[in-house]
Amino acid sequence: MKTKGTRKNIVNIVTLGCSKNQVDSEVLLTQLRGNQINATHEANNDDANIVVINTCGFIDNAKQESIDTIIRYADAKSEGLVEKVYVTGCLSQRYKDDLEKEIPNVDAWFGTRDLSRLLKQLNANYKHELVGERILTNPGHYAYLKISEGCDRPCSFCAIPLMRGHHTSRPIEELVTEAKNLAKNGTKELLLIAQDSTYYGLDLYKKRNLAELLKKLSDVEGIEWIRLHYAFPTGFPLDVLDVMAERPNICKYLDIPLQHGSTDMLQVMKRGTTREKTEALLQTIRTKVPNIALRTTLIAGHPGETQKHFDEMMAFVERARFDRLGVFTYSHEENTHSFSLKDDVPEKTKQKRVEQLMDLQQQISFELNQAKVGKTFKVLVDRKEEGTFIGRTEFDSPEVDNEVVLNTSDYLRLGDFVTAKVTRASEFDLYADVL
């Protein structure tokens, strides 16, 4: 890193955590450049003299990664390698008072809804005319579209409402403008994200309006895939399924975190539903949208989870045969309802239960993938790795789901769609010949 005094102001934004944080960093990057400020994202050179760390405060591991990153840059500042260190995002929102004392070398701390104040600190002004514009930090053929901020759900284990505040939907017009701008710049796939996407509109339009939003986005020229993430099972708006079934550019894909498969635990976790209702909903989804790929997330080791509850969850996963599954160990988070309960499942048992669920899912995923051998799919080319092109089908979200390893002698353009026939499959990947 160059020493002080020899450089122009360059701001380097470092993003930790989820896709929602990534969008916040992209909005910050767009606003800074819109103010003629030289800003980069995760620059791996060390030209920047100002660093903004967009942190995650979700669960233990993520918090530790954020703290380690802050300390690394705070140390770089004391070594004269950077001049200013600013921290924003969920960890800062949640623990600012403690962190200010523990890491005094940070110049200022900002919350999750503090963009204007952060921009001011960086000698920039918030530009309304840039709403709907966004510089992407991932390959431009896909983009996350954050449809709302915050969450009003009472899930007992979750600290997100503490960090992100109440649910606030973004107006449909603003989202359509953003989608049009992204499409104009080459985006073909939109990934709709939120804390709870199915709550969309209840605040702004006094009704669940996700189906309407999907229709409007589906009409945007150039958008070939629209993917729905972070749906919530309780009060799921069934009209969304009708739009998904009728619109070819809405992926037959749904990410719906369910968190547990035992009715007793779902009630302790304040999920407002039962295993029976959940299974009925999954049945309805699969009936209304045939061949839909379902992704879910589960938590193992929540306070009060007995072996019997866990066995119920294993049986639930065996019956449901999800296409994609992620499992977390329960994290005892201050100021959540669950924090008042005894964290009575030993860490070792939590880990073992995660492994058991993932072993079961690996077998299910292998079987589901075998059924794809011999079939032909539309594949979006994401990247080239050691001379091999890698892509995804509409049943796979970037960074978290399966991939397609493409066999071709042609040179493919990243972001192009190709048609490919699956020749073999492993647990989590497909191998296909480009036709």
Contact pick of 28, 85, 135, 160 for ligand SF4 (by CB under 6 A): 160
Contact pick of 232, 236, 253, 389 for ligand SF4 (by CB under 6 A): 232
161 binds ligand SF4 (CB under 6 A): yes
**What CA–CA distance (Å, rounded) separates 39 from 37?**
6
337 binds ligand SF4 (CB under 6 A): no
From 3-11, 151-159, 365-373, 400-408, span contacting ligand SF4 (CB under 6 A): 151-159
> Which amino acid is it at 127?
K
Q: Are 322 and 279 in contact (CB under 8 A)?
A: no
For the segment 235-264, give every residue that binds ligand SF4 (CB under 6 A): none
- Beta strand 108-109 pairing with 84-89: parallel
CB of 133 to ligand SF4, least distance (A): 27
Classify residue 374 by its DSSP letter. T
When the beta carbons of 261 and 391 are compared against ligand SF4, the nearer one is: 261
How many residues touch ligand SF4 (CB under 6 A)?
Answer: 9
Buried b (16+ CB within 10 A) or exposed e, 341-370: eebebeeebbeebbebbeebbeebbeebbe
From 153-161, 180-188, 216-224, 316-324, span contacting ligand SF4 (CB under 6 A): 153-161
CB of 302 to ligand SF4, least distance (A): 12
CB of 356 to ligand SF4, least distance (A): 23
From 152-160, 275-283, 326-334, 359-367, span contacting ligand SF4 (CB under 6 A): 152-160
- Beta strand 142-146 pairing with 148-149: unpaired
CB of 165 to ligand SF4, least distance (A): 11
For the segment 192-231, give every residue that binds ligand SF4 (CB under 6 A): 195-196
Q: What angle do CA 11, 13, 17 make, to 5 degrees?
A: 170
From 10-18, 40-48, 148-156, 350-358, span contacting ligand SF4 (CB under 6 A): 148-156
How crowded is residue 21: how many other Cβ atoms within 10 Å of its Cβ?
20
Q: Please compute Rg for the chain using Cα positions.
A: 22
| Phi and psi angles of residue 106, each rounded to the nearest 5 degrees, phi first | -80, 135
- Of all helices (H) and strands (E), which one includes residue 295? strand 293-300
Residues that bind ligand SF4 (CB under 6 A): 151, 153, 155, 158, 160-161, 195-196, 232
